[in-house]
Each structure stands twice: as C-alpha cells, then as structure tokens.
Amino acid sequence: MLRLGQHTFDAHEPVIMAIVNRTPDSFYDQGATFQDEPALARVEQAVAEGAAIVDIGGVKAGPGEEVDAAEEARRTVGFVAEVRRRFPDVIISVDTWRHEVGEAVCEAGADLLNDAWGGVDPKLAEVAARHGVGLVCTHAGGVEPRTRPHRIGYDDVMADILTVTLGLAERAVALGVPRESVLIDPGHDFGKNTRHSLEATRRLPEMVGTGWPVLVSLSNKDFVGETLDKPVKERVIGTLATTAVSAWLGAQVYRVHEVAETRQVLDMVSSIAGHRPPAVARRGLA
C-alpha cells in the first residue's frame, strides 16, 4: 500500500505525477509554466486528465543559469501554498534536492519530496521525517546536481541502482519517514547513458521485487530521444511505449508531461493485466 498525503493506492493501482515546471528554461516547455496563472492552469488540466500528483520544480535539471536556494524557494513555496488552497485533494510533490527548500515547501503544504539527485543533501530525508511527508529515493550515479554524466560506467547498473535506492529508503524509514510513503526511482538519464537507462527499464522487475513502490520519470528524456533519434518534441510515442513496458513490468508512479495520453496507456495495460475492468463492455452482448 502506497500512502501519499490523504490518499492510499493499492499495489496494482498506477499513479500519474504531472510535471509543473516553475522555471524559465525547462528543456521541454521553455518556461510555459514559469508564471503563476499558466502554472495553475496546468495543475487544473492535469488533475482533470487524471493526475493524482503534481510535481513542482523550481530548478531545471540540466546545466544552466545558477539558481540558489533562495531563488528556488521563491519560485516554489508560494505556489505550493496556492495549489494547496485551490486543489485541497491533490497530492503535492516538490522536486528539490535542498533541505532548506524542502523545509519551506513542507510548511506550505507539500506531501512529497522528490529527491531526483540521490540524497546529495542527506538533511532532506530528515526534513521529510520531521514533517511526516513522503520521499522519492533516486539513483543518480553519484553525479553533482545539474551536471551530465561523462563516460560513466557500472559493473552492473541495476545492482548499483538497488544498492543506492534501497540504502536511501531504509535510511529514510530509520529517520522516521513513513515506510508506506517512500518510493524508489531508477533515475533514467541521471548519471546514466542511454544503454544504462534501457537496461534499467527492462530490469525494473528487480526493483519491483524489493516491495518498495517504483516511480519512473521517463517523459521525453534523452534516452528516448537517442534510442529513436528524435528531438524533444518528437519523443511522445517513444515515451508512451516505454511507459507501457514499465507498467507491464510493475512500476507504479509515472512522472509525465502528457497526462491524458499516459492515463490511457496505463488504463489499457492495467486492463490487459486483469487489474481493471473495461470502461464499457458491449461487444458481443447486443
């Protein structure tokens, strides 16, 4: 059972986390939701299309202009408070690796801290424990935040993913983070080349088999683009294909840009797997 905020999800219930970037230079939308009203409209649309979680980020993942903790907080804290006011039932996640920002967004109403950089700031887990919120424990290959991997290698990439994410998860629980609110993430593209991310995808059952709920952040990433030789705006089909495979292999939470399309993919896979009945069943019955 996964518990986030006021919501619980059983093991076979796929969950969509919609990306809401509060950055002027995001790789996908180039700042379309940097201002408050477009960002709030994005939240409203995502919830209407089937997202249970909105993931709010104040710093671009890749290299770019420096954003210190104060500026990251300025971009996210007030927005979190407004989302909590307007959408009291939505699960609010904040994508941050900094404990100072984590503290402020939790006070503003966040339910989940999405640590995409693999525990580089160990105090972030302490913040999650103190506020009783969830935590995403990610494998990032030990690289510094906002840097790209260069000729990174692993003897066994999934073994390294498991060692890191399980260690982070168990530490979080030992600190007081509710066990049912901890997720593990293989960290596609983070500290990995394309072949690493592809291998991590096909070996997802090894993560699922640990019993921790698995989050995958696949949406329009470079490993999809390189696999198909497609630019950012032409990676949706590859992303949805990877989503379907990941769902079949047991991942539970999906961090995405295209919510409606992902909802259909996840519902279809869930129905094929026998976990969800068809929305309608008329064929052969008339």
70-125 confidence digits (pLDDT tens): 999 999 999 999 999 999 999 999 999 999 999 999 999 999 999 999 999 999 99
pTM: 0.96
Distance CA 281, CA 150 (A): 51
The sheet that has 134-138: what strands, in order across it?
182-185, 134-138, 112-115, 91-95, 53-57, 15-21, 253-256, 215-217
DSSP assigned state of 232:
G
List pLDDT tens digits, range 2-36: 999 999 999 999 999 999 999 987 767 767 888 89
The dihedral sign for the CA sequence 249, 254, 257, 259: positive
Distance CA 248, CA 39 (A): 32
What's the pLDDT score for residue 31?
A: 72
Asked if 180 and 3 touch (Cβ cutoff 8 Å), the reply is: yes
* pLDDT over 90, % of the chain: 94
What's the pLDDT score for residue 30?
A: 66
Distance CA 20, CA 18 (A): 6
List pLDDT tens digits, range 250-270: 999 999 999 999 999 999 999
